[in-house]
Amino acid sequence: MLETGKIMDMHMHIGNKNFFKNIIENSQHRGRYRMYDEIKYEQLNFSHHVKNIYGGIVMPMLAKELTIPEMNRMVSDFKSENPYLHKCFLIDQENPTCVGYEGIKLFKEHFLIHKFEDYEKRKKSYEYINSVGGAIIVHSKDNIRSESIKRILEDYSNIKIIIAHLGRNTYSDNDFIKNILSEFKDNYAVYIDTSTVIDPKVITLACQVFDVNRILFGTDIPFAQTPGYFKKAVSSITNADIPIDMQEKIFYKNAQELLLNMKLNKILR
Domains observed in the chain: 8-261 (3.20.20.140)
Task: Dump the DSSP string for 160-181.
Answer: EEEEGGGG-SSTT-HHHHHHHH
Give tens-digit pLDDT for 51-107: 778 899 999 988 878 889 988 998 998 888 888 899 999 999 888 888 889 889 999
261 close to 218: Cβ distance less than 8 angstroms: no
d(CA 70, CA 67): 5
pLDDT reported for residue 117: 79
What is the DSSP secondary structure assignment for residue 69, as one 8-state letter? H
Closest of 178, 169, 242 to residue 212, by C-alpha: 242
Say which residues have a Cβ less than 8 Å from residue 162's Cβ, sequence separation at least 6: 10, 135, 136, 137, 138, 190, 191, 192, 193, 216
268 — pLDDT class (breaks 50, 70, 90): low
H or E element in which residue 144 lies: helix 143-155
Question: What's the pTM?
Answer: 0.91
1 — pLDDT class (breaks 50, 70, 90): very low
Say which residues have a Cβ less than 8 Å from residue 223's Cβ, sequence separation at least 6: 13, 35, 38, 39, 40, 196
